Amino acid sequence: MADRRFHPWAGQLALGRIAEIAGAALPADADPARVFDGVAALADAGPAHVSFLDNRRYLGDLAASNAGAVLIHPSLAARAPATCLALTVRGPYAAYARVAAAFHPAPRGVPGIHPSAVVDPSATLGERVEIGPNAVVMARAKIGAGCRIGPNATLGEAVELGEGCVVGANASISHAIVGREVAIYPGARIGQDGFGFAIEPGGFVKVPQLGIVRIGDRCEIGANACIDRGSASDTVIGAGTWIDNLVQIGHNVKVGKGCVIVAQVGISGSSELGDQVMLGGQVGLAGHLKIGAGARVAAQSGVHRDVGEGEAVGGSPAVPIKEWQRQSAKLRQLVRRGTDGRSDEGRNEDESK
């Protein structure tokens, strides 16, 4: 359950209001005026908490839960304990997210510039902008209305932020144009030089990185993620894309709309991702690849070829997901049988004679 020292609490909510927010149906005998204090996981919840079940593997937790109410798919409603009201909804997790946000809304900014911040006189600030301690806003930067700039964050020359952006502590942004309502988490690095050089017999020659980074509306850029600016063309992150912590995106990469890129992914320069691509944790993409719209890449895969629209791949080098699964199953069989072709059981019998 949320610790109110860190997560502001909006107060109690009546069951009827909770159902309205969640888009859920109440049991016929439920009292819509009954009040609840907040949300909690099944294992931690008490009678004054709302919880949720979105995965059948947690049915055991549901059976033992003390939650007063649970957001649950209609097909599983009968599995809720008698002491737990089943609020039925087709998407329990999304419903939980809306209810949790109602109990614990995101903190609002405190407009104003901290005395220790440095803001160049040529910078343009919209209404209700908050700039935190020791933040730096350089010449000709433009910050949209309602933006929040965290402590020690740096916005480079001519950087533009759309309305409602949040920039976390110690993040740095240069050579970038950012859309509306973008969340940039602490320590992110956006717009630094791409890894570009030419090779000569005497060593390396630095290639000037003359592009920028363009980030669409409503994106999330995770903590300590790095997005290099383009070398000749721009690096582009499509609207609604969510990038997890510790992701590296190389120069000239084009990421489509609504993509999900999980922690520790590395995307080499000039690769292109279509809309709604999903990359699992620690995926590595070689440069100059095309990943089709709706493609899925399993965690820890190494991708060295183009991936078609809607294709699911896995392994290193990545192959179609079913082929990878067959390879993995066959490898397990070979290990169990041993190099002499006999099973472990047969070998043990021979050794015991």
Q: Which two tokens stand for residue 267?
A: 């995307």
Name residues of the chain where pLDDT drops below 70: 339-353
* Residue 161 resides in a domain: no
**Do 329 and 248 fall within a single domain?**
no
**Do 95 and 180 fall within a single domain?**
no
Work out how many domains the chain is built from and give that number: 3
> Residue 67's closest CA among 95, 39, 91, 89?
39
* Residue 41 resides in a domain: yes
- Calpha distance 57→69 (Å, rounded): 19
> Residue 192's closest CA among 250, 135, 232?
250
Provide the domain limits for residue 60: 13-103
Q: Which two tokens stand for residue 308?
A: 């078609």
| pLDDT at position 349 | 55
| pLDDT at position 108 | 85
- Report, as residue numbers or ranges, the catalytic residues: 251
**Do 219 and 335 fall within a single domain?**
no
- Calpha distance 15→101 (Å, rounded): 15
**Do 97 and 19 fall within a single domain?**
yes
**pLDDT (tens digit per residue) in 186-244:** 999 999 999 999 999 999 999 999 999 999 999 999 999 999 999 989 999 999 999 99
* Residue 144 resides in a domain: no
**Do 332 and 309 fall within a single domain?**
no
* Residue 146 resides in a domain: no
Task: Please provide the DSSP assignment of 219-252 as one string.
Answer: -EE-TT-EEPPPSSS-EEE-TT-EE-TT-EE-TT
| pLDDT at position 352 | 52
| pLDDT at position 109 | 85
* Residue 138 resides in a domain: no
Q: Is the pTM of this model over 0.85?
A: yes
**Do 330 and 228 fall within a single domain?**
no
Among 59, 79, 103, where does a domain finish?
103
* Residue 270 resides in a domain: yes
**Do 99 and 75 fall within a single domain?**
yes
What CATH number does residue 300 fall under?
A: 2.160.10.10
Task: Please provide the DSSP assignment of 49-91 as one string.
Answer: EEEEE--GGGHHHHHH---SEEEE-GGGGGGS-TTSEEEE-S-
| pLDDT at position 330 | 87
Strand partners, 131: 113, 149
Using CB atoms within 10 Å of the CB of residue 118, give its burial: 0 to 12 exposed, 13 to 18 middle, 19+ buried. middle
Q: What is the DSSP letter of 24?
A: -
| pLDDT at position 158 | 98
* Residue 118 resides in a domain: no
Strand partners, 95: none
Find where tokens 């942004």 sit. Answer: 173
Distances (CA, A) of 274 to 38, 222, 298: 39, 20, 17
What CATH number does residue 31 fall under?
A: 3.40.1390.10
**Do 224 and 305 fall within a single domain?**
yes
